[in-house]
Structures are given as C-alpha cells and as structure tokens.
Amino acid sequence: MNAKAKILVVDDEEVVRRCFVRTLSDQQCNVEVAWNGPDALLAMEQQPFDVVLLDQRMPGMDGMDVLETIKQKWPESEVIMITGYPAVESAKRAVTLGAYDYLAKPVGPDEVINAANGAMMHKRWALRCEPPVGRAGAR
C-alpha cells in the first residue's frame, strides 16, 4: 500500500479500532480513528480520507447513514463496510449506497490489508479513467 494512503477507521469498539490501526500502520499508511458517525464526518470535513473502514452498527448515527453522507460529499473516498451482523439485505444496501466492500466480523489482519489495498487500487483506477470534462464519449 502507498505510504500516502489516508485511512479512517470508524468503530465504536476500542479493541477493533486498535487492531485495525496496528494492522494498517504496519503497511506504512496514515491511519486515524473515529468512534462514531458524527466524529467520522467531522474528520472527513477536516481532511477527506482515501479509504474509510466503517462499522455498520454504532450508537446514534449508524454506518449506512455515514456511508450515504460520505459518498454524497466525498465520492472519491472508498468505504469498506464492516459488520458483526452480516445480512444479504444490508450488503445489498451498502453496495447500492456505494460501498467498495462489505466484510463480516471478525476480520483478520490479512483481510483488512487486502480490502484496503483493493479499495486504494480501485480509487486510483477510477480517478485515472474519468474522462476530462466536456470530452465524454470523445475518441
């Protein structure tokens, strides 16, 4: 993973945040944390992140609402939804709202690294492939 990758870990469980931070810090990327939805959106306002690892169930504002707001305001950010309560319906909703991936807890270090790497590659590819303004469809 690129040393310049900025990743935000959003989870209300401290042990999960610490585990993800330790795993991703070993990959030479910049990692910050938020423990709830409003704090995550505040962090995004201050500096948009490349990748957001987002817990689905949190007190107050849930992960789906945070995902929807992130994709509306910062569509270039890739979001990986993580949940301890996986369900087909919530996976479909997450993808419909623009999540890059949907992972079920417990999530191991390799799975976190692979998902974050995939999200960064997807972001770089998407930014490279966007046609210049006014040239859509031009050859």
Provide the residue range defining the domain that includes 90. Answer: 6-129
Q: Is residue 89 part of a domain?
A: yes
Residue 94: which CATH number? 3.40.50.2300
Residue 1: band (very low, low, confident or very high) from pLDDT cuts 50, 70, 90: low
Residue 85: band (very low, low, confident or very high) from pLDDT cuts 50, 70, 90: very high
Instruction: Give the per-residue SS3 of the chain.
Output: CCCCCEEEEECCCHHHHHHHHHHHHCCCCEEEEECCHHHHHHHHHHCCCCEEEEECCCCCCCHHHHHHHHHHHCCCCEEEEEECCCCHHHHHHHHHHCCCEEEECCCCHHHHHHHHHHHHHHHHHHHHHCCCCCCCCCC
Q: Residue 137 above 50 pLDDT?
A: no
Q: Is residue 134 part of a domain?
A: no
Q: Is residue 139 part of a domain?
A: no
What is the per-residue pLDDT across 5-48, written as a single tens digit (0 to 9) for each? 899 999 999 999 999 999 998 888 899 999 999 999 999 999 99
How many domains does one find in the chain? Answer: 1
Q: Is residue 136 part of a domain?
A: no
Q: Is residue 20 part of a domain?
A: yes
Q: Is residue 105 part of a domain?
A: yes
What is the per-residue pLDDT across 44-81, written as a single tens digit (0 to 9) for each? 999 999 999 999 999 989 999 999 999 999 999 999 99
